[in-house]
A and B are shown apart, each in its own frame.
Chain A
């Protein structure tokens, strides 16, 4: 999928360039005693027009590296398609010396690594935000504290289905060749200065959508949280109450701001 780019000529003259401002970012590992094993990753490009978030699957050989590779490649190049994924796989493969691995690691490597990819890209028209969502990481669009839309899911039960994930095994990426795939994993939102976009991995996303559909305060809580320790406390409490799945839990809160440059 290429990111859409509407003609600048069609825009009102008052539209100013917009960028993301990372207002809050924190990731709470599933295992508090082993934060280095956190398999969520995120990145943005230098001009902050693109932010990518990835959730590496637990049963993978090296989903942490795979998730990192995906978000950094996406931040640099948003022209996501089959070739884009093949290039990422090639880079991943080049980083592993297969012959040096023991028998179990060779088998685990053969099994592959898997991760989601959520890409948020401000289009050149400074009005549209293109979303790419492979897997179950979630984006939420807020304006003045009100949820305008969520993507790719709108209901918490949608997180129960097995998500399609990007794999280091080409045979597991055949869904990319399905004719309707790119239409089914992308969407465009119109954004403006002051809008808030939340990007979260699945555990937070499922809780957030259940709070939203039940008209409780989850969106408000995540909109106001200001410190990693507060977010950690929230996640730990929700885990203890079985309101959130035990998984790496990442929250990015992005402000859409006019670029002052």
Chain B
């Protein structure tokens, strides 16, 4: 059965984030002071932090995951990470832990245990900076993701297959990405095919459509295209979606249309729920 491989240091899995950095990502999120690019960057940095935390033990960081970001916009598709992490797209999680581009001191409000809230300082590491300019070279980004994951799958035949989390707010400006997405999903390890999950980010208030099982309810050809580009959810991700309170079936695909803040957070959380770490 697919998607059952244990995730351990000898057989890590990979998460590759494809992030639209086109000019329209500079528009504000509905009901927020932040732009879509800022919001996605915040959630992505928080996701990195969570992944590092999951792998951190008293004796160090265990390399259960390889992580990378491909950003695409006015400069084409580029490695979204910087510094020591810029030399290759996929980096082991221990290298991610060791090389945030900076660490911000932020404040958070937490329960004081007596019914009130207190402010607490917390370190917020940053790896990925918001960026928004130019067109939407989605095909180039998916092609580059394919090149990276073909090599990765060859090197990790016994691993849980890579998951690609793609975030976009617009239409591809360099051609039709459907065939390239299909080719990307065909790369595989012995444990299954690459999973491609797509998130459409909205700047308008509207009803999100989460993890649909068919095209019927989607409003336009572009939304339907992203649906067809998305992998069917394996069983353990169906469970993860149900845990978030979404209605889902075994035909559901890894796609959220018209996502607002809550859906973006859920998408990253669900998409990085590979099976249990060992």
Residues of A bordering B, CB below 8 Å: 30-31, 33-34, 37, 58-62, 64-65, 103-108, 111, 246-247
Confirm or deny: B9 has a beta carbon within 8 angstroms of a beta carbon on chain A: yes
Q: Cβ of B56 and Cβ of A246 under 8 Å apart?
A: no
Q: Cβ of B8 and Cβ of A107 under 8 Å apart?
A: no
Shortest Cβ gap from A34 to chain B (Å): 8
CB contact between B8 and one of A30, A60, A64, A65 (< 8 Å): that residue: A30
Query: Cα distance A113–B59 when bound, in Å?
Result: 13
Q: Cβ of A105 and Cβ of B58 under 8 Å apart?
A: yes
9 A-B pairs with least C-beta separation: A62-B58, A108-B56, A107-B53, A104-B56, A103-B123, A246-B6, A104-B97, A104-B52, A108-B53
Known: A31-B8, A33-B10. A107 touches B49 (CB 8 A): yes
Query: Cα distance A58–B62 when bound, in Å?
Result: 11
A34: chain B residues at CB < 8 Å are 9
Confirm or deny: B276 has a beta carbon within 8 angstroms of a beta carbon on chain A: yes
Q: Cβ of A246 and Cβ of B125 under 8 Å apart?
A: no
Confirm or deny: B57 has a beta carbon within 8 angstroms of a beta carbon on chain A: yes
Interface membership of chain B positions 133-173, coded 1 if the CB is closer than 8 angstroms to chain A and 0 otherwise: 00000000000000000000000000000000000000000
Interface residues of B in 234-278 (CB under 8 A from A): 276-278
B8: chain A residues at CB < 8 Å are 30-31, 246
Residues of B bordering A, CB below 8 Å: 6, 8-10, 49, 52-54, 56-59, 61, 97, 103, 123, 125, 276-278
Query: Cα distance A59–B7 when bound, in Å?
Result: 12
Q: Cβ of A61 and Cβ of B276 under 8 Å apart?
A: no
A-B contact count (CB 8 A): 46
Q: Cβ of A61 and Cβ of B278 under 8 Å apart?
A: no
Q: Cβ of B103 and Cβ of A62 under 8 Å apart?
A: no
B277: chain A residues at CB < 8 Å are 58-59
Q: List 15 A-B contacts (CB under 8 A).
A: A30-B8, A58-B276, A58-B277, A59-B277, A60-B57, A62-B57, A62-B58, A103-B123, A104-B61, A104-B97, A105-B56, A106-B123, A107-B52, A107-B53, A108-B56
* Nearest B-chain residue to A248, judged by Cβ: B278
B103: chain A residues at CB < 8 Å are 103
CB contact between B10 and one of A31, A104, A105, A111 (< 8 Å): that residue: A31
* Nearest A-chain residue to B8, judged by Cβ: A31
A246: chain B residues at CB < 8 Å are 6, 8, 278
* Nearest A-chain residue to B53, judged by Cβ: A107
Q: Cβ of A108 and Cβ of B57 under 8 Å apart?
A: yes
Q: Cβ of A104 and Cβ of B53 under 8 Å apart?
A: yes
Shortest Cβ gap from A70 to chain B (Å): 16
Q: Cβ of B57 and Cβ of A111 under 8 Å apart?
A: no
Q: Cβ of A30 and Cβ of B53 under 8 Å apart?
A: no
Query: Cα distance A108–B64 when bound, in Å?
Result: 15
A61: chain B residues at CB < 8 Å are 56-58
Q: A31-B9, A31-B278 are in contact. List 15 more A-B contacts (CB 8 A).
A: A30-B278, A58-B276, A59-B54, A62-B57, A62-B58, A103-B103, A104-B52, A104-B53, A105-B58, A106-B123, A107-B52, A108-B53, A111-B53, A246-B8, A247-B278
